[in-house]
Amino acid sequence: MEERATTLDDILARKRQTGGEVVNVDEPAVKLVFCSLGEQWYAFYGEVIREVLADHEVYYLPGCPSSMEGVINVRGDIESVISLRSVLGLPEVKIAASSRILLGKTSAMSSGIRVDCVEEVLDVLQSAIQSPPHTLPEHLRPVVLGIVMYHEHPVHLLDLERIFADYREGLC
Amino acid sequence: MAQAETIEIVSFAAGACRFAVEAQQVEALLSDGPQTLVAVESLLGLPLLETAARPCLRLGKYRVSVNEPIDLRSLSVDSIYPLPEPVALRIQIKGVRALVLEAHGAMLLLDLRGLLAG
């Protein structure tokens, strides 16, 4: 019997079935990933950051928004890389050696997030997270969950769920 | 040792980027013919920068003009990936089926027949 040649449809169907679930481990404290963009400090809940990557080759793709740097191959899984600077409306800068890619995953989507630097991953008391101030710039209000002090810096705790949901909709 | 699984592709350039299509979609490489001439850039939604005569891929009743280099080659299935969801949602190029990652860079695998039929 003649064997059927492998088609692209076969390959894509097979590859879509791979990829594991992220194990959601309950943390006794709120784990935050602190990062910076220039002089500005930000944080994400640790539960939405799977991994911090350094020195990963980013493959440029044509036809994508300027906020999308390209894609990376993480042990066989392909992830997009989005510039947090671009998403937050900050000017782009040359990628420095200290730059890192956070691998983020929410119910909306998963993607890499380019930041200038990752400062630390810390457990923080929930009570240390304060409500966002009324003076917060208009464009940040939808994506900032609160403010936490870190080394005497006010740090914006970002809502990755909202950022990714907006990104899916083409809003940022 | 088992040989790596492969598919045949025809790769080409458009603009400054590399693209490919399954070889089974392409009937011939032509420079001229009676088929309707279509620039690949117009199919993909890219700006057409090239106005000189170019080689064409014959797909049914169409000739699709592309930039060189044009290669017919085997591609390991290990280098073919579905588009990550954010890319699939936001990419503005039409007809992209998959992503190819190789040592020298990324390439988009297209469904040109689907675009021509649509």
pLDDT tens for each residue of B14-47: 988 999 999 999 999 988 888 899 999 999 998 8
Q: What pLDDT, on the 0 to 100 scale, is given for residue B99?
A: 97
Do the interacting molecules here have an ipTM over 0.90?
no
Identify from B90, B93, B113 which residue to disrupt to test chain A contact, counting A C-beta atoms within 10 A and taking the largest count: B90
Q: What pLDDT, on the 0 to 100 scale, is given for residue A18?
A: 54
- Report in angstroms the alpha-carbon separations of B92 from A27, B98, B118: 40, 14, 16
> What string of pLDDT tens digits covers the 172 residues of chain A?
566 778 888 888 777 765 444 445 555 679 999 999 999 999 999 999 999 999 899 999 999 999 999 999 999 999 999 999 999 999 999 999 999 999 999 999 999 999 999 999 999 999 899 999 999 999 899 999 999 999 888 999 999 999 999 999 988 8
DSSP string, B33-79: -SSEEEEHHHHHT------S---EEEETTEEEE-EEEEEEEEEEGGG
- Strand ranges across the sheet with B67-76: B67-76, B6-14, B17-22, B105-110, B96-102, B80-81
Chain B residues within 8 A of A78 when measuring between CB atoms? 81-84, 99, 101
| pTM across the whole model | 0.85
Average per-residue pLDDT for chain B? 93
Tokens of B31: 């420079």
- B35 forms beta bridges with none
- Nearest CB to A8; choose among B16, B83, B98: B98
Residue of B nearest to A172 (CA): B90
